Structure 1
Amino acid sequence: MKLHTLKPADNSVKSKKRIGRGTGSGMGGTSTRGHKGAGSRSGNSTKRGFEGGQMPLQRRIPKFGFKSINRVEYKPINLDTIQQLLETHKVSVIDIDFLKQHGLVSGKDLVKVLGRGEVKTAAEIKVHAFSSSAVAAIEKVGGKATVL
């Protein structure tokens, strides 16, 4: 094998379609553009989603619902998760930095403590929001729920 003998495998390279080179090529005449209309002319480009004047799909399908721009999205953490943290790390204060350190929240997440499970250890918990059942459970064991 030498460099000057290298060539692509058989039938792996197709030749370019030569459009508008006479009727004998099979692609002369209208040059594969069909007859008349905007699509046969130069400079033609249709918008995304254009279906030839038929009502496009994105306009046929009905709209529904909306997203409130004032919605505040919280990252939920339940009491059973907090109890697990208290048992494994033997701490008395759980705040946002502690939760970030242990991979439960990230970046600018707002955290809300929810009432699933139970807390057996008294601790001070400092997050952005609490459910009423979570506050009751935390204060029942002598802990403190502080809203940031």
Structure 2
Amino acid sequence: MELNSIKPAAGASKNRKRIGRGTGSGHGKTATKGHKGQKARSGGSVKPGFEGGQMPMQRRLPKRGFNPLARKEYSLVNLGQLDIFESGSKIDAGALIEAGLIKRIGDGIKVLAKGELTKALTVKAHKFSATAREKIAAAGGTVEEI
């Protein structure tokens, strides 16, 4: 057996469609191109995205830039803002909205370390900065990640 003698199994491969080789072939006359028009002409085809002169879709839609679509938007709260709560109270999303520190939860709440915390508080949030964790613990409070 040699490479030039190998043939595919019967029925495994189709013969090439020979267009423009007379009416008997079934693909003669217009050679599967239909009647007239730009696509029937030699070299006549339009580039991808061309809409006949109409403003193409890729130019009609706004640019997205480098903003990642899966990015999460956290509502930010600083430690200095939490000093309005009484010592020993539990602070969660509901308490922050009620106090007017955040408008909505969004993808979560993140506590940042700006400002000083003088009271022992139990803070429940989705994320904490490392410094915020240290400051809450130093004030005698506890951190709870949701």
Aligned with 2:102: secondary structure? coil
Conserved in 1, the CA contact under 8 Å of 2:124 and 2:145? Answer: yes
RMSD: 2.9
- 2:66 corresponds to which residue? 66
Mark the CA change 1:90 to 1:136 in structure 2 (over 3 Å): closer, same or farther. Answer: closer
Does the alignment pair 1:94 with 2:97? no
Structure-2 residue corresponding to 1:82: 82
* Equivalent residues, number: 92
Contact 2:76 2:102 in 1 (8 A): no
- Where in structure 1 are there 5+ consecutive unaligned residues? 1-52, 54-58
Between the aligned residues of both structures, percent identity stands at 35
TM-score (norm 1): 0.52
Deviation at 1:130, TM superposition (A): 0.5
Question: Equivalent residue for 1:129?
Answer: 127
Deviations 1:3-55 (A, max 9, x none): xxxxxxxxxxxxxxxxxxxxxxxxxxxxxxxxxxxxxxxxxxxxxxxxxx8xx
Distance change (3 Å), C-alpha of 1:103 and 1:123: same
Q: Which residue of 2 aligns with 1:138?
A: 136
Counterpart-to-counterpart distance in 2, 1:104 and 1:77: 7
Secondary structure class of the residue paired with 1:97: helix
- Stretches of structure 2 that go unaligned for 5 or more consecutive residues are 1-52, 54-58
Distance 1:93 1:125 in 2: 6
Q: SS state of the match for residue 139, structure 1?
A: helix
Q: Which residue of 2 aligns with 1:22?
A: none
Q: Are the structure 2 counterparts of residues 81 and 119 from structure 1 closer, same or farther at C-alpha, using a change threshold of 3 Å?
A: same
